[in-house]
């Protein structure tokens, strides 16, 4: 019998990949999107006014819900109270969604959190799920609070809560900083990243989608928190070089000592950005492998190849 699994934010970058992954696994994805939002492809879509007004009807006949809808990290956030804005959607909205799903009869709620619920940088070793939460910014704080309150909701009601914490997600249709990096490489812009040996964990969008599908369906996932990565942590400089190879452009890396970058950060008021750029964020994802038997099916190089190919196709069409 086909299992119906609801996806909030189904028309987003991760949501589209997840819908496809669920269909390929024999499940029926039910996309939950806001009124007026563009539709996804291939899943039944149910529209809602907002997470604040969501009702159990949106989750009728769904056995599980994967909650992707969120207010994402925003550079130069113009909100007068960013934390309040993040809490309204990422905490209150998640709890209202879980409550509506529970009242509709859904047994499991998979909350797609972020590694920022835990930390911005690692502590000289890869981060594990049992590390103490120390979120670095309003976005991370809202994700950490949502994790805690959803776990409390599960303890009260018996709903199965599963938390997934991805790091940076990349793949075809990616935007934000990763897209900007590819554009800079293709345009031949010199990048002062040649001396950065900090390592960063990442996850390809299809790898994340397959992990979320396992979180929604595997009996051993209930009550767990999982870190999800590709399992390879390249240095910032190596990532740029490899991405340049896949874009068929030599990355123009300039070796700038990290000390000078920190000085530049202080002068320009971008200390936090420089700290993130020069610091390592390695994540241990062995827990999901050990508990669920999940493995990333796509390597970092294969993921970079697909992402670069998409970028090149897109820019050719737009030219």
Catalytic residues: 139
CB 26 within 8 A of CB 5: no
Residue that is written with structure tokens 């910032």 in the block? 236
CB-CB contact of 106 with 62 (8 Å): yes
* DSSP conformation class of 194: T
The residue to which tokens 């595997």 are assigned: 218
Q: Could you tell me the two tokens for 146?
A: 């949502």
Token pair for 271 = 């200390």
H or E element that contains 60? none
Report helix, strand or coil for 138.
Answer: helix
Contact 205, 170 (CB under 8 A): yes
- Contact in structure between 10 and 38 (CB atoms under 8 Å): no
Residue 163: C-alpha distances to residues 25, 81, 151, 316 (Å): 21, 26, 9, 39
Element (DSSP H or E) covering residue 201: none
């Amino acid at each position: 019998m086909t299992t119906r699994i609801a996806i909030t934010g189904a028309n987003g970058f991760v949501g589209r990949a997840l819908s496809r992954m669920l269909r390929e696994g024999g499940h029926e994805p039910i996309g939950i999107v806001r009124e007026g939002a563009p539709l996804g492809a291939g899943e039944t879509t149910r529209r809602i006014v907002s997470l604040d007004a969501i009702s159990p009807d949106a989750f009728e006949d769904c056995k599980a819900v994967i909650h992707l809808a969120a207010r994402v990290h925003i550079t130069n956030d113009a909100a007068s109270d960013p934390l309040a804005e993040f809490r309204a959607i990422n905490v209150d909205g998640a709890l209202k969604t879980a409550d509506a799903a529970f009242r509709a009869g859904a047994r499991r709620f998979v909350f797609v959190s972020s590694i920022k619920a835990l930390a911005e940088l690692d502590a000289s070793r890869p981060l594990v799920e049992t590390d103490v939460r120390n979120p670095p910014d309003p976005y991370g704080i809202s994700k950490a609070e949502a994790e805690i309150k959803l776990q409390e909701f599960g303890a009260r009601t018996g709903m199965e809560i599963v938390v997934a914490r991805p790091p940076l997600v990349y793949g075809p249709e990616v935007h934000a900083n990763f897209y900007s990096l590819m554009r800079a490489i293709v345009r031949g812009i010199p990048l002062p990243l040649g001396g950065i040996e900090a390592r960063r964990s990442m996850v390809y969008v299809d790898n994340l989608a397959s992990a979320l599908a396992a979180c929604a369906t595997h009996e051993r996932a209930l009550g767990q928190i999982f870190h999800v990565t590709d399992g390879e942590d390249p240095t910032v400089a190596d990532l740029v070089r490899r991405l340049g190879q896949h874009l068929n452009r030599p990355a123009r890396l300039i070796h700038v000592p990290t000390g000078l970058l920190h000085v530049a950060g202080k002068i320009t008021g971008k200390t936090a950005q420089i700290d993130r750029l020069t610091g390592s964020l390695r994540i241990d994802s062995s827990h999901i492998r050990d508990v669920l038997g999940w493995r990333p099916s796509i390597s970092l190089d294969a993921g970079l190849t697909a992402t670069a190919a998409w970028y090149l196709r897109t820019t050719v069409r737009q030219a």
